Amino acid sequence: MSYCRIRALLFISIVVALSACGDDDDGPPAPDGGTPCVLQGVDWSHATAGVTVGTTRDVSIELRRDFSCNDVSLSFEIAGTGSIEALPADLVFEPLGTSRFPLEITGTTEGVLTVTAIATSEDGQRVEADLEVAITGTTLPQCEGEASGNVAPGGAIEAASGTLRGAAIGLTEGASRDDEFHVDAFDVAIGCASAPILPEGYRALGPAVSLASTAGKTRFPRELDLAVPIRLALLPTHAHRGHVEVAYVGPGVSAPRIVPIADPVFEGSAGDGVFRFRAPRLGTYQAVVREDAPQRRDRRFVYRGITGVSMGGSGSGRVGLGNPDRFDFVAPLGGPTDWQYMLEYIRRYHLGGFCTEEERQSGTVDCSAASQDRAPARGQFMEHVQHFENWWYEDAYDGQGGRFDRREYLEIFRDLSAMFGNANTDAGIDEDDPNVAPPGTPDAERYRLPAERCANVIRIEPEPVGGDEVAATGWFDDEYNPEGRYPVISFCDGAEMPGDTGRWNPEGDNNAPAEVAYAVDVNGNGRRDPGEPVIRNGREPYRDVGSDGAPSPLEEGYDAITNPDPAGDDYDFQYNPLGTEGNWDREEGEPFDDFGLDGVDGTAQLADGGYDSGEGDGVFTRSRGAQRMIDASPRGMLREMDDATARAQDVFADGGVRDLFNWVVMGHHSMGAFASRGIPVRFFNGHNALYLDGREDDFDFARVPWSEIGRHSMVRYGSIDATEAEKVNGDGGHVGTVLQIQHRLFASLAAMDRRWPGGDRVVVRDSLCQTIGTGCEHVNSIELDFDAPTAQRRGPVTIILPPGYFDAQYADYRYPVVYFLHGYGMEPGDLLATGLLLWNFMTDPRLPEAHRFQKAIFVFPDGRCRGAECVNGTFYTDAPESTPNGPAMETFLLDVVDYVDATYRTRAPETIEVWE
């Protein structure tokens, strides 16, 4: 059993025990007066609400009480200046009914009011809560105010007067740490911008504010704490905090542009407040809203959601976004995977750190081992760097979800090649030629025992012509074997230094075939020795300089500080997601060498008995496997989507800040793909940031304003400033701490649950049963061996039916369905405890009605390799024809969807008018 599985089951067992399973609960006590009623409190959904005259804002009021209470009446008292339309009278919270009422606040005359909600029980108990309502004019006051000074770690400069009051630049104390997020103190100036920076179709919610460094600093290795004034009362009717966006201009961005920000916090009055957020650049910022927000539209709900963890997170993002007609909601946990970025990362880091042949021949460089110095410097926020002989893994820290050692990495690379095609090479000239192992290795090799393969190295020798310096045949590589002088060999790996996961031990038992790549045997001894490079032939060489064909330093007007991107084409997931320079893709206009995948001109092609492909065909060539991966990633799929389809689904993703697979970085680029389509995106540093008010108390998913966090959002769990003790406990790791796992699961499902209209949340007495017996009249925890008709594949599937599914009162009720995809090396049965946990949150009588999940069917499909398909994980994709025995796993999953719809009472699609 994998560590990931053990940790997951342990966590779920603990939470289930603490949450007191509802299986044997008698339900809520009858409100017959036998138990004293206790009103715990009444809460507004917002501390303040703002409107202009004639506009309407949506709020809600919620009662906290135990379930021994009879009817509780709700009334309102209003005091202050100005006026609003009358609120409803005679509202009653029934014992088993709703605990939350939606309300509308519509302004009639300007002023500031206090609306007091008063809840009163039959025995005279009374609880109350106040809501401030600001009714304002429609015009922003003239911008006035300024501030300047020095910002050091733990400090801030803030404007204290004028309409700029509250505008600020701050730096967290963690910036003093001596690591990649270190920031020295710097001088700043805050002032009114010379003009608004409104993109077309937007209105201002506050002034444009210049947040600048007088020392010329513009971009930082960590996010700064920034703030600008905001008047939420200027939001259009029915708009809310989720519709607030941020416009930006600054160095390299001359035209006003909407940029995604992190950690939105709304402070102060809705009539005169402050909007705090985090971003890594200084410049001019302004809080804005679309003129047409929100839009009332007909939305078709199919009442299916898809989520998953690790490999399942990657799969849920790909399958969900690839089938937008099948799923309303996509929640990739640990993803979604951006293969455009990841393939270049693997090339530069996982397979990097070696001397080029030019360096080797210079005699001035030590090439006896791979080195981090020869891999690129860290280029992305929160990115981990590494090289081939020392893959990144933090042995001292928990929370990785597994011991991802060199052997498991090699298995993952093999499975990716089986399920997508080899991204590192093309092995044949036809689309259906086997393409897992490189050319020169028969596909049958991967079915031989590792010991046999390691004892019989495949060796591709150069054949000299006119001396031993130039080869006519053999395997070439533009960096490591440009003249074809060295043999190229298959090799085995897998040994590690004692106590140092990921660091290669050349003297160890290297008996795990590295079957997706060859090495250059520089010393000709028939094995890969330290420093001998691994070939990476996934694409033709190109210069990623943008469609203008010139890197920024050669663009007219370039200045590293004041004008770092004269052409405005530098890619940045946040500030310029449409940029073509540095986006890891070859765009039209970017120069490339049409020399084939080996990057060397004039070498023999596969069709001619050589090992190269794509040379001289006039088009930029990638390996088939790499292209399949890119096409199946969110960036790739969004390129092909029409605008309505791209906006149709809700996406809630996450990633750990210390995740060894760089899920946060990949998530940045995947979410940036939505921003490139003009779709609002938000980032949250930790789940508490979802509250939108800056609270740092224990996370409670039920108190998140889910409708306001944004329809395309991502949580970065963990802290870049975590203490050593927090890191040891797994903070921000691949799965995170036990508490972070809990938050990840509940947050994703709550976000999904709150988006679906309606839903039954009534407490039902029931038991979760796998067999019929005492206390179990029906089987509602089903494990079946599913024979997929279209995919022609058999695999296990676990189905959890909701509480009350077989009760007479629910005979005609139909349910939404959530598909939960497991991680690498796991299988559906490993998630049975997750189903038990979710069962309790659908029926626990101690939870207020508004805090329960609506009753839904949960399905855990198979994603593990079966038989000779692959090793451990299918990544939920359909293997290409070039993979013998390759499973059709996306088809398998969609067959499961069809089976569940045909077998169980799933909720039929319907079109509902919504505000979005």
Neighbours of 801 (CB within 10 A): 24
Output the pLDDT for position 216. Answer: 81
As a whole number, mean pLDDT of residues 130-142 equals: 96
Output the pLDDT for position 181. Answer: 96
Shortest CA distance to 289 belongs to which of 644, 680, 709?
680
Question: For residue 258, what are the contacts with CB-CB under 8 A and spacing of at least 6?
Answer: 199, 202, 245, 246, 247, 248, 288, 675, 678, 680
pTM for this entry: 0.95
CA–CA separation, 688 vs 747, rounded Å? 10
Banded pLDDT at 130 (limits 50, 70, 90): very high
- Both structure tokens of 581: 């320079």
Instruction: Spell out the SS3 assignment of 28-81.
Output: CCCCCCCCCCCEEEEEECCCEEEEEECCEEEEEEEEEECCCCCCEEEEEEEEEC
Of the given ranges (8-12, 22-26, 66-70), which has the lowest mean pLDDT? 22-26
Output the pLDDT for position 468. Answer: 53
Banded pLDDT at 849 (limits 50, 70, 90): confident
Output the pLDDT for position 18. Answer: 36
Judged against a pLDDT cut of 60, whether residue 321 lies above it is answered with yes
As a whole number, mean pLDDT of residues 487-514 equals: 96
CB of 146 closer than 8 Å to CB of 284 = no
Judged against a pLDDT cut of 50, whether residue 33 lies above it is answered with no
pLDDT in tens, 713-764: 999 999 999 999 999 999 999 999 999 999 999 999 999 999 999 899 988 9
pLDDT in tens, 90-112: 899 887 667 889 999 999 999 99
As a whole number, mean pLDDT of residues 8-15 equals: 42
Give the CA dihedral 814, 762, 25, 63, nearest 10 degrees.
150
As a whole number, mean pLDDT of residues 789-817 equals: 96
**What single DSSP character describes residue 668?**
H
pLDDT in tens, 821-848: 999 989 998 888 888 888 888 988 878 7
Output the pLDDT for position 443. Answer: 86
Output the pLDDT for position 8. Answer: 45
Banded pLDDT at 26 (limits 50, 70, 90): very low
- Of the chain, the percentage scoring pLDDT greater than 70 comes to 95
- Both structure tokens of 795: 């695999």
Output the pLDDT for position 831. Answer: 86
Banded pLDDT at 674 (limits 50, 70, 90): very high
3-state secondary structure (DSSP) of residue 342: helix
Residue-wise over 642-657: b if at least 16 C-beta within 10 A, else e?
Answer: eeeebbbbbbbbbbbb
CB of 200 closer than 8 Å to CB of 288 = no
Of the given ranges (123-132, 413-422, 465-474, 757-766), which has the lowest mean pLDDT? 465-474
Residue for token digits 């060498």? Answer: 593
Output the pLDDT for position 14. Answer: 40
Banded pLDDT at 122 (limits 50, 70, 90): confident
Question: For residue 657, what are the contacts with CB-CB under 8 A and spacing of at least 6?
Answer: 382, 664, 716, 717, 718, 719, 720, 732
pLDDT in tens, 566-575: 999 999 999 9
As a whole number, mean pLDDT of residues 30-38 equals: 57
As a whole number, mean pLDDT of residues 453-464 equals: 91
Type of residue numbered 789: P
**What single DSSP character describes residue 278?**
E
Output the pLDDT for position 4. Answer: 46
- If you write DSSP's letter for every residue of 392-436 in order, what string do you get? ---TT---SSS---HHHHHHHHHHHHHHH--SS----SSTTS--S
Q: Determine the distance from the C-alpha atom of residue 28 to the mean position of all C-alpha atoms in its chain, rounded to a whole number.
A: 38
Output the pLDDT for position 668. Answer: 97
As a whole number, mean pLDDT of residues 661-688 equals: 96
- Both structure tokens of 78: 């209003």
Judged against a pLDDT cut of 60, whether residue 561 lies above it is answered with yes
Output the pLDDT for position 20. Answer: 35
Banded pLDDT at 467 (limits 50, 70, 90): low
Output the pLDDT for position 21. Answer: 36
**What single DSSP character describes residue 142?**
P
Judged against a pLDDT cut of 50, whether residue 86 lies above it is answered with yes
Output the pLDDT for position 19. Answer: 37
pLDDT in tens, 189-213: 999 999 999 999 999 999 999 999 9
Instruction: Spell out the SS3 assignment of 798-836.
Output: EEECCCCCCCHHHCCCCECEEEEECCCCCCHHHHHHHHH
- Of the chain, the percentage scoring pLDDT greater than 90 comes to 82
Mean per-residue pLDDT of the chain: 92
pLDDT in tens, 409-430: 999 999 999 999 999 999 988 8
